[in-house]
């Protein structure tokens, strides 16, 4: 309710926001809810994207497939890592990548793809993920607009290597800021935990 939201917002100014046990409990509950093995909380969703890409240590000049509808912060992440953004047209029926343009834009220098699901719509995940795997792309799923969506009974965010959720204001699950990264890869999870410990 609105009253609960306002009360929680006001309380956030008077409580310790980095209480490890509470954060860990929330991470575990979110991972379970999303049917993923691991979840790590980051200061921002763009921070989670940054460290997801940094984990792969791609050579400078490697290409990252991106949607033309995004925020500047995500573009800044790609550029800060000396990677090259490559924009792919969207299919108007589901506002995710147009398959024909995507195939054209993937080159031998393409190393990663950011799949952004907009306005609760889900593309043909079977074909999209199949293509990405065939091209050996590192797959990031931004499901900030699409929490609870499923494809063939599997929750969006679990099809790639890392699923990213922005829990900033105006999102369905709003924690007054922050981002969450889910993965089923224990090596990625270990890297995230090492990274988060550096913040503390």
pLDDT digit string (tens) for 103-152?
Answer: 999 999 999 999 999 888 899 999 999 999 999 999 999 998 888 899 99
What is the pLDDT at residue 167?
73
What is the pLDDT at residue 52?
97
Give the whole-angstrom CA distance, residue 103 versus residue 48: 27
The residue ranking higher by pLDDT, 174 or 61, is: 61
* Chain mean pLDDT for the chain: 89
- Write down the pTM of the prediction: 0.87
Q: Give the lowest-confidence range in 31-35, 137-141, 174-178.
A: 174-178
What is the pLDDT at residue 174?
59
Local structure of residue 90 (DSSP, 8 states): B
Q: How many CB atoms lie within 10 A of CB 52?
A: 26
Q: Is the pLDDT of residue 172 over 90?
A: no
What is the pLDDT at residue 133?
97
Strands (E), the chain: 38-42, 63-66, 84-87, 110-116, 138-142, 150-151, 154-155, 162-166, 179-183
| High-pLDDT (> 90) share of the chain, % | 70
Query: How would residue 197 be classed by pLDDT, with cut points 50, 70 and 90?
Result: confident
The residue ranking higher by pLDDT, 38 or 18, is: 38
What is the pLDDT at residue 17?
56
What is the pLDDT at residue 159?
97
Q: Is the pLDDT of residue 57 over 90?
A: yes
Three-class DSSP category at 63: strand
């Amino acid at each position: 309710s609105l009253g609960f939201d306002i009360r929680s917002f006001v309380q956030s100014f008077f409580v310790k926001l980095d209480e490890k046990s509470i954060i860990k409990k929330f991470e575990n509950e979110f991972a379970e809810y999303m049917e993923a093995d691991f979840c790590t909380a980051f200061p921002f969703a763009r921070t989670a994207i940054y460290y997801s890409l940094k984990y792969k240590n791609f050579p400078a000049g490697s290409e990252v497939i991106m949607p033309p509808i995004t925020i500047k912060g995500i573009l800044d992440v790609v550029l800060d890592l000396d990677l090259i953004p490559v924009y792919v047209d969207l299919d108007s029926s589901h506002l995710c990548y147009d398959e024909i343009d995507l195939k054209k834009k993937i080159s031998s220098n393409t190393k990663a793809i950011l799949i952004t699901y907009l306005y609760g719509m889900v593309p043909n995940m079977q074909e999209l993920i199949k293509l990405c795997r065939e091209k050996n792309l590192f797959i990031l799923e931004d499901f900030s607009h699409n929490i609870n969506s499923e494809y063939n009974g599997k929750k969006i965010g679990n099809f790639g290597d890392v699923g990213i959720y922005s829990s900033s204001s105006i999102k369905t699950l709003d924690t007054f800021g922050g981002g969450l990264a889910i993965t089923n890869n224990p090596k990625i999870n270990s890297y995230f935990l090492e990274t988060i410990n550096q913040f503390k």
